[in-house]
Amino acid sequence: MKTKDFSYELVHKDANCEARLGKLNVFGKVVETPVFMPVGTQATVKFLSPEDIKSINASIILGNTYHLWLRPGPETLEKAGGIHKFMNYDGPILTDSGGFQVFSLADRRKIKEEGVTFKSHLDGTTLFMSPEDSIHIQESIGSDIAMSFDECIPYPSKYEYVKDSVDRTLRWAKRGKDAHKRVDQALFGIVQGSEFEDLRKYCAQELVKMDFDGYSIGGTSVGEDKATHYKMLDYTIPYLPKDKPRYEMGIGAINDIFEAVERGVDMFDCVLPTRIARHGTLMTSQGRINIKKNIYKDDFSPLDPECDCECCKNYTKAYLNHLFRANEGLGNRLMSIHNLRFLIRLMEGIRAAIKEDKFLEYKEYILNKYDFDERGF
């Protein structure tokens, strides 16, 4: 079924690498790419209101199909008129398929050709999700962009296991695409293949034949080293169409974002910025700050003088240090706002650099200036 009013426009490609500036038309709403998407697992970006999301200039967010399936449930979301009305957020929303839980809840699931049996992490109830179920749940959720159901392969895995898994992911992709009926919801296929070049190429080429609205690069950042991670991208991207969006799933480290953009990736999401914020770790133009340290107890300077977020414009390091030590929720909110705005500002800078054919210069400048460690934050 042909999706209406969803398209990708390549605006400009950097003259010195594969980095691309684009526009994603999401049913009348424009998302400039490359873009970072805050993660709203359970119909909320942790500690942030929809108004906060808009204030940091986030243009699209992500929801989690598995968690929304368990609660509040697709029936409630349908009654509410979809996830946008349920959470009072009118921007574009992307949902994953539940496939990542096949990986992350490995001790609670069994994979068969028909689908996956889960043990609920909430109460241990046995649940089953097929590729068709995943699509129907996402249609009930009412996200703007849905993902086909896949198996996110653990690293490392043996070649024969990965080959069988890729073949199953392709069969699941076909079943999910056949089940997808909403013309007001785009559907992406997910490329798997672990570290094996021939399997990545094969999976990408077969998914392209199915003609999805966009393509996700899955199975990266699952424990592999950086060199292997970037090889996975090199083994995938050349086989994806230039007129469709490319989305690398679960990426939020700055070095990883730069490497992926340089290779032509358009979209990213990750819980990293909000998760590390809740532990007092903040990404700033002066490098990484651990706000719980005693040195900030009487530091009345802003967190980051180069940042324009609510946190940096109005509050000091000393106050954030106090909020963290007192375990006050406001601290989580302010620090999450900052880390997300930091990454979104980074993407704004990346887009401006691509437009001027200066992406590689910007990459070198930022990585030298921020001096984060090998983790990329």
pLDDT > 70 fraction of the chain, expressed in percent and rounded: 99
pLDDT score of 103 = 66
Q: What is the pLDDT of residue 119?
A: 85
The pLDDT value recorded for residue 251 is 97
1 — pLDDT class (breaks 50, 70, 90) = low
Mean pLDDT of 224-241: 98
- Give catalytic residue positions: 96, 269
Over range 96-123, report the average pLDDT: 85
Burial of 251 (0-12, 13-18, 19+ CB in 10 A): buried
Mean pLDDT of the residues in the chain: 96
Give the per-residue pLDDT at 98. Answer: 84
Which has the closest alpha carbon to 156: 216, 107, 229?
229
Instruction: Average the pLDDT over 234-248 and give the result.
Output: 98
pTM beyond 0.95: the answer is yes
pLDDT exceeds 90 at position 142: yes
Q: How confident is the model at residue 294 (pLDDT cuts 50, 70, 90)?
A: very high
What is the residue extent of each domain of the chain? 6-270, 277-370
CATH of 6-270, one of 3.20.20.220, 1.10.40.60, 3.30.70.1170, 3.20.20.105: 3.20.20.105
Q: pLDDT-derived band of residue 99, with 50, 70 and 90 as boundaries? A: confident
Residue 371 has pLDDT above 90, yes or no: no
Give one word for 175, left, alpha or beta, with left for phi > 0 and alpha for psi -120 to 50.
alpha
What does the pLDDT read at residue 245?
Answer: 98
Residue 79 has a pLDDT of: 98
| 311/302 Cα distance (integer angstroms) | 8
